[in-house]
Structure 1
Amino acid sequence: MAEKLAVITGASTGIGYEIAKIAASEGYDLIVVADEPQINTAAGDFGADGVSVQAVQADLSTIEGNDQLLAAIGERVIDVLVANAGLGLGHAFLEQDVDAWRHVIDTNVTGTTYLLQKVLQQMKARDAGQVLITGSIAGLMPGAYQAVYNGTKAYLDSFAYALRNEMKDTNVSITVLMPGPTETEFFRRANMLDTPVGTQEKDDAGMVARTGWDAMKKGSAHVVAGTKNKIQAAVSHVVPDTVLARMHENLAKPNDA
C-alpha cells in the first residue's frame, strides 16, 4: 500500500474519474465512490498504476451513504479528499418533480457538507490534508432553467471560501474547482441534451481535472478551468443578476420550449 490516500467521490465517470487517474499516477492509494455499479469497473482502471484501489457504491445524497463511505475509510489517514459527487437538473423549476430537485440538493449540498465536516475534523486534528471541492461557474449566476443546480453550486462555492477561512491557521488547504460546461455524462443525466448548452462543444474532462488537481496541490483558494470560463466568471461580477439570468436562459432553456 502507498503511504498516501486519496478519497474521491463521483469517480465513476467525468471529472472525478479523471482526477482519480491523476491521483493513481502520482502514487496515491484510492478509495473511490459513486452511486452506480460502474464505479467497480472504474476502480479496475485506476489500479493499473499499481496502487491499492477500493471501490464503494453508495448513495451520497443520504447520511447513511456517506457513513458507508466513512466506514470503508475506517481509521486510515486521508491525505486528499476530492468532493466531486454532484447532480444536475435541467428544465423549468415548476415542471420538476419534488423528488428530483430534492435529490440534487441532498447530493450536492447536504451529503457533501456532511462528508466535508467529518473528513475535515480528522484533517484538523492532525493538522494536515488537502481538499478539492468541485463547485462551478454556474454558482456565479442565476440559473434560469437550471435553478436548483446553480443554487447548490453557489452554496458550494461560498462554503469552500468560508471553510478555507476557518482553516487558515492550520496546514489543511481547501480549494474550489470551478469548471464550465464539460464533456461528461452530466448533461444527459440532467435531461439537458435538448438545450443549447447540452449540444455545444465543451471542455475536456481531463483538462478540467488536471487544472483542479494542480491548483489543489499548490494550495490555491480556487481555480476556474478554461479561458472562456475565466472570462465568464469575470463578467458575472459586473453584470446585473437579471441580465445574467437571461444569458443563462439562452444556454439552458430547452430548444422546443
Structure 2
Amino acid sequence: MSATRPFAVVTGASTGIGLELAKRCAREGFDLLIVADEPAIEDAAALLRGGGASVEALNADLATTEGVDAVYRAVNGRPVDALLANAGRGLGRAFLDQDFANAKRVIDTNITGTVYLIQKVGTDMRRRNAGRILITGSIAGFIPGSFQAVYNGTKAFLNSFAFALREELRDTEVTVTCLMPGATDTEFFRRADMLDTDVGTTEKDDPAKVAADGFEAMMSGTGDVVSGIKNKVESAAANVLPAELLAGQHRKMAEPGSAKS
C-alpha cells in the first residue's frame, strides 16, 4: 500500500452496501483494508484488486472485541483517512421466539463492535485532526420494528450515536456521516430469515446507488443522508406519526407469513 494514497477501512465489505462502498473507495483512489466475518471477503478483495486497487482483506468477527482488535492491528499504525463502519446483522421474527444468542449477536455486531472500532480509529483521527467516519444506520432506526425489534433498536442507537459523535467533533477536522438506507437488495433478508415477509419479497433499492449516496455525503462532510426518495418520505413521516401506529405498520411488512403471493 502506498504512503501517498488515502487509506480507507470498510467493514461488512464482502457483499451488499459494504462491497459497493469499497468499490467506490477503490475508484476514488483509496488503498483499502476490507473486513467481514466470512471467507467471502477474500473474493471481494480479488474483485477489487482486479480494478487496480491495493486491497488487504481480513476475516474477523466484528461482534467481538477480539475481532475489532484484529482490525486495529491490521491498520498497523497507518493514518485512516476514512472509516466506513458498515458491518451489520439483521434478525427477523418475534423477539420472544428468537434464540437469544442470535439476538445478542445482532447487538454485539451492530452496536458494540461498531462503537469500539469507531472509538479506536476515531481517537487516532482526532489526534491527527483529520479523517472521515461513515456509519451505516437505517431508516429502520426511526420505526419501532415489530418482528425486527432488536435490529431496529440497534439502528436507532446508531442513528443517534452518529449525530452525537458528530457534535462532539464539531470543532475538529474529523467528520461523521450517517447513511440511512431503506430496504436494499442485498443478502440481508435471507440472512435475517425474512424471505417469507412482505419486506423480504418486494422490490428494493440498488446497493450501488445507496453506497454512492453514502460515499458522496461522507466526502462532503454531510451529517446524514437518507438514500432514495421513498425512504426520505418514510423517514419524514416516522418523525411525526405516533410510535404505536408505526409499530403496527411495520408488523404488516415484517411479520412472517405475510409475503405477497
One-letter amino acid matched to 2:125: M
Q: 1:48 and 1:214 mapped to 2: Cα distance? A: 23
- CA deviations on 1:151-184 (whole Å, 9 max, x unpaired) are 0000000000000000000000000000000000
**How many residue pairs get matched?**
257
- Give identity over the alignment, percent: 57
- Secondary structure at 2:135's aligned position in 1? strand
| Shift in Å, 1:50 | 1.9
Give the secondary structure class of the aligned counterpart of 1:144: coil
SS of the aligned residue for 2:63 comes to: coil
What's the counterpart of residue 184 of structure 1? 186
Paired position in structure 2 for 1:79: 81
For residue 4 of structure 1, what is the aligned residue in structure 2? 6
Question: Equivalents in 2 of 1:256, 1:239: separation in Å?
Answer: 23
Q: Which residue in 2 is equivalent to 1:238?
A: 240
* Counterpart for residue 201 of structure 1: 203
Deviation at 1:256, TM superposition (A): 5.9
Q: Quick one: distance in 2 between partners of 1:48 and 1:225?
A: 28
SS in 2 for 1:212: helix
Report the equivalent of 2:62: 60
In structure 2, the gaps of 5 or more residues are none
TM (normalized to structure 2)?
Answer: 0.97
Could you tell me which of 38, 41, 47 is aligned with 1:39? 41
Match of 1:145 in 2: 147
Offset, 1:52: 1.2
User: Could you tell me how far 1:49 is from its partner in structure 2?
Assistant: 2.7
The answer to whether the aligner puts 1:101 opposite 2:139 as a matched pair is: no
Structure 1: distance between partners of 2:15 and 2:51? 18
Q: What's the CA shift string for 1:81-105, capped at 9, x where partnerless?
A: 0000000000000000010000000
Amino acid at match of 1:100: N
AA partner of residue 185 (structure 2): E
Per-residue Cα deviation, 1:220-256 (whole angstroms, up to 9, x for no partner): 0000000000000000011000000001001000126
8 Å contact kept, 2:125–2:131: yes
Distance 2:164 2:235 in 1: 19
- Mapping 1:201-220, distance limit 5 Å: 201-220=203-222
Tell me the CA shift for residue 123 of structure 1: 0.2
Task: After TM superposition, give the deviation of residue 51 of structure 1 in Å.
Answer: 2.2
Aligned to 1:122: 124
C-alpha contact (below 8 Å) 2:198/2:258 kept by paired residues: no
Q: Which whole-Å CA distance do the structure 2 matches of 1:68 and 1:204 have between them?
A: 31
**Which letter does structure 2 place at the counterpart of 1:58?**
A
TM (normalized to structure 1)? 0.99
Secondary structure of the residue aligned to 1:176 is strand
In the TM superposition, residue 217 of structure 1 has moved relative to its aligned partner by 0.7
Residue in 2 that maps onto 1:222: 224
**Structure 2: how far apart are the matches of 1:26 and 1:139?**
30
> Partner of 1:165 in structure 2?
167
Q: CA RMSD in A?
A: 0.9
Structure 1 residues 170 and 142: CA distance shift in structure 2, 3 A: same
Conservation of the 8 A alpha-carbon contact between 2:252 and 2:258: no
Q: Which residue identity lines up with residue 65 of structure 2 in the other structure?
A: I
Could you tell me how far apart the structure 2 residues matched to 1:42 and 1:223 are?
26
Unaligned 5+ segments in structure 1 are none
Asked if structure 1 preserves the Cα contact closer than 8 Å seen for 2:162 and 2:176, the reply is yes
